[in-house]
Structure 1
Amino acid sequence: MSEYYLKKEKKMSRYFKSLIFWVIVGLILGIVVGAMPPIKIEALGIENLAIWSKVFIDMFIKALKLLIGPIIFVMIILGIVGLGDIKKIGGIGVKAVIYFEVVSTLALIVGIFMARIMQPGVGMNLDINALDASSVDKYVKASQGSESSFWGVLKGAIPQDLVSPFTDGKTLQVLFIALFTAFIVITLKEQDREYIKKALEVFQSFVFKILTLIMYFSPLATFGAMAYLISKFGLSSLVNMGYLLFVMLAACCVFIFGVLGIICYVAKVNIFKFIRFIAKELLIVFTTSSSESALLPLMKKLEKAGIDKSCVGLVLPTGYSFNLDCTNIYLAMAVIFLAQAFNIDISLWQEITILLILMVTSKGAVGVTGSGFIVLAGTLSSLGDNLIPVATITVLLGVDKFMSEMRACGNLCGNSVACLIVAIWNKQIDMEKFRYALDHPNDFKIQD
């Protein structure tokens, strides 16, 4: 009996230590507080706890926005520098980049298409002014003189200095600086390049540590988001949020079993067998919400299954910066969802502009919890508040953690298929051995 209770206690302890457990707790409490009559706390000068709780969202988003610039800057540089000497990597690097761009664009199209067809935000009729009445003037002023057209956005991508893009969260300007810096670094001698790469990796670990600490406050932010949303817009808004999760899941399945399935079919590989082959890594990713958590075991497994080590070593790590397919789906879908929820008309040309902008900004959406949300904020900043104000993303915070699970698992599938296709394309795979691995996945277990 004592052993039974000990195991039960350990299981409960794991639940209490899980971030998603506390996110669910925050979600439920937020719904309850938002649905209740106004809770007044006179000692703190709070007239309505549900409305006041918006302060948690504001603080959380401000903290995340501080990391937009550094995360995108360091990941873009490391992604490009990680390719090494372009002359040495030859065809494999070029083929990988071509594949990443084509498939990432298809993912964006799937996101926009599914959001347009299934319309998860239609009928919510949310009011931008209700999000933060005091900030309306700020959005109006910000929109004056700004251009949301594609050429207008491109013109604004060139920074006037090297500091304001990071302090003001100007994502495209950060990308411009990162691309220019990466080009300079990649032309340096190999020894100097390695010094800079190591320094950037240290800085990357530092930034990710800050991001991890901030994410510990996501349950509190989730509570504030749901309490404020329900209090302002009623319980009916929950139906749309649940439907959004369903549409996101449907879009990921369409991409994985549709787009990736067709690609694998052309390569004469069964997508269902391939998903079964990487099932353990998918489970790791699902529990951590980070597609990078399974990077090392996935690399070992693909190498053991017959894919050349040089191909695995180049394509998979680079894919974590340039080929996050389901994060692309999320970004495209979230933009259309917010436009629908707040009754913002988006023309076909503006949708094309959004697609082109996302093709660039999505390259900073690294496989770490919360980074997709950060890049979404940066993307909306790039489009200009006169199109879709950044403040609108507050309505997504309550369900973002659950969408993060889908993004992470989908990204792992996308990068695994990318490694396979590039290996086949570059003739760096033992297909007989690989097919055997798919048919006998238990024979290719990797020791932890």
Structure 2
Amino acid sequence: MAAPAAAVSPRRRRRFYHHLYVWVLVAIALGIVFGLVAPDQAAKTRWMADLFIKLVKVVIAPTIFATIVVGIAQMGNLARAGGLALRTVLYFNITTVFALGIGLVVINVLRPGASLGFDLATFDTSAADAAIAATESQDTGMTSFVLDLVPASFVGAFVDGQLLQVLVLAVLVAVAVTSLGARADGVVRALDTFAHLMFGIIRLVMWTAPLGAFGGIAFTIGSNGSAILGSLAAFMGAFWLTCLLFLLLVLGPVCRIAGFSVFRYLRYIKDELLIVLGTSSSETVLPRIMRKMEAAGAPRHVVGMTIPTGYSFNLDGTAIYMAMGAIFIAQAFGIEVPLTTQVALLAFMLVSSNGAAGVSGAGLVTLAATLTAFDSVIPVAGIALIVGIDRFMSEGRALTNLAGNGIGTLVIARWTGDLDRERLRAVLADPGSVDVDALLSADAPRPGEEQPVEPEQPVDPNPRVAPTEPASSAPAVHPAQTT
């Protein structure tokens, strides 16, 4: 009987310049220098980041659809799939509440906006016009959220790149496929092959990540300059500090309870963190993080359900940004927000922020939509204060969301008893043993799956002796020596 193919196997170490994260790191450094030295030219490089993000997004929706359908169908138990989905949504909403809470605590303690002293009557609000206009055409209530779960047509979700709608469609198709039983085996195999193909495309696209990272960082530095960074440095510093505190004080203990170290986990996903840092979007590494979580011991059905769901319901970074941004605006205009109003704001944000996790820039529009409902207390026009630095905040949001998404996957796998803890321990101890490029190959077996093995031939009880042939000059190869 053949042993399962291990996700972690001894292999020859690649030279440092063969690693994607090295080139992404170099691109980020060059982008920062270019943005400082030639800001006018750097401000025109956003197209590089946009091109990379579009290349990735074009395969994200079909990849998620195929992965979820195959994962649920292979579970063969709709009750189990429903329990997994419920635990996933429950876990992510609980962590979002903690993120909102820690954001409110830090912004009220540090009060970075209290010293600005702006007067709303003389404040230039033109920079907020675009964000406010984006909220006027949409309803941010619960009814709108529920209606937006269903696309106008089956292909509409894929055309528009609406991941939450793709998730709903995938679950419906998976339920239908499961109810067909053996008749749907061909459909499941076809979708599984299709998912492998999409991962193969992603493997090729990811090598353009340094280009996207360079363009994104250069644009951010060149278009904002140092003046706005200086005036709002306290708020940016408080936000990044809060994201770090959330990671260490909230997700750190969660990781410890689940049996692994948050620091080793962050080392394991360093490539993905660097790519997100350059592009400001966690969507760019969605296929890579899925493969890495499988390699770390989370089964395919858990990864297929949790990662895509997390991209709509895992709002840790976005929640921190929204909570801190709202109170910062109030502080900048000398407005004291009562505690009861802050709690109401927190509850409203928990609902209004759904769906904004993986989209670059969506946090600003969502914040504007939330403040519109509380405009009698906090002026929505104050959004103009943080429009200029939103790109820097977007990076922090995306990094926090990505880290929380992967942690949530491993925690839920442990919660359901499906986590391979030995494999997770081995992978986190030696992250270099996982070759994510090989895992993204279209023909690569999934971690933990058995390699195809030729069936053993039955032994003939009455073998016939074949005629003796002339000896060949080629050396004989014993089957045990083949590779």
Pairing 1:176–2:150 present: no
Q: How does 1:73-152 map to 2 (within 5 A)?
A: 87=79, 89-132=81-124
Pairing 1:424–2:391 present: no
Amino acid at match of 1:90: G
Do the aligned partners of 1:285 and 1:294 also contact (CA within 8 Å) in 2? yes
Pairing 1:278–2:287 present: no
Do the aligned partners of 2:314 and 2:404 also contact (CA within 8 Å) in 1? yes
- Structure 2 partner of 1:323: 314
| Deviation of 1:386 (Å) | 1.9
- Structure 2 partner of 1:40: none
Pairing 1:289–2:246 present: no
Q: Cα distance 1:133–1:444, how it changes in 2: closer, same or farther (>3 A)? A: closer
- Structure 1 partner of 2:385: 395
* Cα distance in structure 1, aligned partners of 2:136 and 2:38: 33
Specify the structure having the higher radius of gyration (Cα). Answer: 2
For residues 96-138 of structure 1, give each alpha carbon's deviation from its aligned partner in whole angstroms, at most 9, with x where no partner exists.
1110111001001111111011111111001112224899xx9
For residues 405-443 of structure 1, give each alpha carbon's deviation from its aligned partner in whole angstroms, at most 9, with x where no partner exists.
111111111101110111100112111111111101100
Pairing 1:203–2:160 present: yes
Amino acid at match of 1:248: F
* Cα distance in structure 2, aligned partners of 1:172 and 1:378: 7
Do the aligned partners of 2:99 and 2:316 also contact (CA within 8 Å) in 1? yes
| Deviation of 1:222 (Å) | 9.0
| Deviation of 1:166 (Å) | 8.0
* Cα distance in structure 2, aligned partners of 1:346 and 1:391: 16
Amino acid at match of 2:83: G
Do the aligned partners of 2:117 and 2:332 also contact (CA within 8 Å) in 1? yes
| Deviation of 1:316 (Å) | 0.6
* Cα distance in structure 1, aligned partners of 2:32 and 2:362: 16
Gaps of 5+ in 2: 1-22, 44-60, 164-211, 441-483
Do the aligned partners of 1:170 and 1:381 also contact (CA within 8 Å) in 2? no
- Structure 1 partner of 2:293: 302
Match 2:366 to one of 348, 370, 375: 375
Q: CA RMSD in A?
A: 4.0
Percent identity (aligned): 32
Do the aligned partners of 2:292 and 2:436 also contact (CA within 8 Å) in 1? yes
* Cα distance in structure 2, aligned partners of 1:181 and 1:334: 26
| Deviation of 1:401 (Å) | 1.1
| Deviation of 1:201 (Å) | 2.0
Amino acid at match of 2:363: G
TM-score (norm 1): 0.65
* Cα distance in structure 2, aligned partners of 1:370 and 1:26: 21
Amino acid at match of 1:200: A
Do the aligned partners of 2:288 and 2:436 also contact (CA within 8 Å) in 1? yes
Say which structure is richer in helix.
1
* Cα distance in structure 2, aligned partners of 1:220 and 1:110: 27
Do the aligned partners of 1:306 and 1:430 also contact (CA within 8 Å) in 2? yes
* Cα distance in structure 2, aligned partners of 1:122 and 1:304: 47
* Cα distance in structure 1, aligned partners of 2:426 and 2:382: 49
Do the aligned partners of 1:222 and 1:398 also contact (CA within 8 Å) in 2? no
- Structure 2 partner of 1:265: 256
TM-score (norm 2): 0.61
Amino acid at match of 2:401: N
Describe the SS at the equivalent of 1:102. helix
| Deviation of 1:277 (Å) | 0.9
For residues 201-239 of structure 1, give each alpha carbon's deviation from its aligned partner in whole angstroms, at most 9, with x where no partner exists.
212379xxxxx9xx99x969996x889xx7xxxxxx865
Describe the SS at the equivalent of 1:123. coil
| Deviation of 1:88 (Å) | 6.1
Q: Cα distance 1:324–1:395, how it changes in 2: closer, same or farther (>3 A)? A: same
Describe the SS at the equivalent of 1:124. coil
Pairing 1:249–2:216 present: no
Q: How does 1:355-370 map to 2 (within 5 A)?
A: 355-370=346-361
| Deviation of 1:23 (Å) | 9.7
Do the aligned partners of 1:326 and 1:408 also contact (CA within 8 Å) in 2? yes
| Deviation of 1:90 (Å) | 2.3
| Deviation of 1:196 (Å) | 3.6
Q: How does 1:147-226 map to 2 (within 5 A)?
A: 168-173=136-141, 175-180=142-147, 182=149, 185=150, 196-204=153-161
Describe the SS at the equivalent of 2:113. coil
Instruction: Give the aligned length.
Output: 333
Q: Cα distance 1:172–1:290, how it changes in 2: closer, same or farther (>3 A)? A: same
